[in-house]
Amino acid sequence: MFYWWVRVFNWIHDGDTHYDNEDYNWCNRGKGEMLDEFYIKLEENDRDKAKEEVKKRLNNSDLRFAKPRKGKDGIYAVMMDSDKRWHDRFYNQVDTYCISCHKHIKGPAANFPRIDWGDFSGKDNFYCSYDCKREIEAKMRGIEGEFQERETPSGIVGYIYHMYNRKEDKHYIGQTKYLPFFRWQEHIKSGSKGNICDIVFEVLTEVNKNYSSNEKNQEYMNNIEAWWIQKYRDEGFEIINDVIPRLTIESLKKAFSEFIAGQQELSI
Ligand SMILES: [Zn+2]
Separation of alpha carbons 152 and 139, rounded Å: 32
Tens of pLDDT along 114-140?
Answer: 765 444 444 557 888 888 887 777 655
Q: Which of 68, 86, 104 is the last residue of a domain?
A: 86
How many angstroms separate the alpha carbon of residue 108 from the centre of ligand 1? 16
Q: What is the pLDDT of residues 143-188, one digit of tens each?
A: 443 334 566 777 888 999 999 999 999 999 999 988 888 888 888 8
Give the pLDDT score at 223: 94
Measured in angstroms, how far is the CA atom of residue 57 from the centroid of ligand 1?
A: 38
Least confident interval from 44-53, 171-180, 241-250 = 241-250
Q: Distance from the CA of 233 to the center of ligand 1, in angstroms?
A: 30
Q: How much distance in Å is there from the Cα of 203 to the middle of ligand 1?
A: 24
d(Cα 40, Cα 36) in Å, to the nearest integer? Answer: 13
Residues 167 and 231 in one domain: yes
Domain final residue pick, 86, 107, 129: 86
Question: For residue 95, how far is its CA from the centre of ligand 1 (angstroms)?
Answer: 13
- The DSSP-derived string for the chain is -EEEEEEEEEE--STTGGGG-TTS--SSTTT-EEEEEEEEEESS--HHHHHHHHHHHHT-TT-BSSPPPTT--EEEEEEEEE-HHHHHHHH-EEEEE-TTT--EEEEEGGGS-BSSSS--SSSS-B-SSHHHHHHHHHHHH-PPPP----BPPTTEEEEEEEEEETTTTEEEEEEESB-HHHHHHHHHHHTTT--GGGEEEEEEEEEE--SSSHHHHHHHHHHHHHHHHHHHHHTT--B--SS------HHHHHHHHHHHHHHHHHH-
Per the structure, the complete domain to which residue 49 belongs is given by 2-86
CA gap 83, 89 in Å, rounded: 10
Whether 148 is covered by a domain: the verdict is no
How far apart (Å, rounded) are the C-alpha atoms in residues 127 and 229?
Answer: 28
Does residue 18 carry a pLDDT above 70? no
* Residue ranges with CB less than 5 Å from ion ligand 1: 98, 100-101, 103, 128, 132
State the average pLDDT over residues 10-32: 72
Q: Are residues 136 and 227 in the same domain?
A: no
Please check whether residue 151 lies inside any domain of the structure: no
Within a domain: 240: yes
The rounded Å distance from CA 112 to ligand 1 centre is 10
Tell me the percentage of the chain whose pLDDT exceeds 70.
83
Answer whether residue 209 is part of any domain.
yes
Q: What confidence tier does 266 reach under pLDDT thresholds 50, 70, 90?
A: low
Domain annotation covers residue 150: no
Asked if residue 163 belongs to a domain, the reply is yes
| CA of 125 relative to ligand 1 center, distance in Å | 11
Residues 192, 120 within the same domain: no
Residues 161 and 247 in one domain: yes
Residue 63: φ, ψ to 5°: -55, 135
CA 73 – ligand 1 centroid, Å: 46
Are residues 160 and 199 located together in one domain of the fold?
A: yes
- CA gap 130, 126 in Å, rounded: 10
Å from CA of 157 to ligand 1 middle: 37
What is the Å distance from ligand 1's center to 94 Cα? 14
Find the 199 Cα to ligand 1 centroid distance in Å.
13
Q: Label residue 57 exposed, middle or buried (CB < 10 Å: 0-12, 13-18, 19+).
A: buried
Residue 118 lies inside a defined structural domain of this protein: yes
67 lies in the same domain as 120 = no
Same domain, 9 and 101: no
CA-nearest of 33, 37, 39, 40 to 11 is: 33
| DSSP-assigned beta bridge partners for residue 206 | 159
Task: Compute, in angstroms, the gap from residue 185 CA to the centroid of ligand 1.
Answer: 22
Q: Mean pLDDT over residues 190-206, rounded?
A: 88
Together in a domain, 77 and 169: no
Answer yes or no: is 147 within a domain: no
Total tally of structural domains belonging to the chain: 3
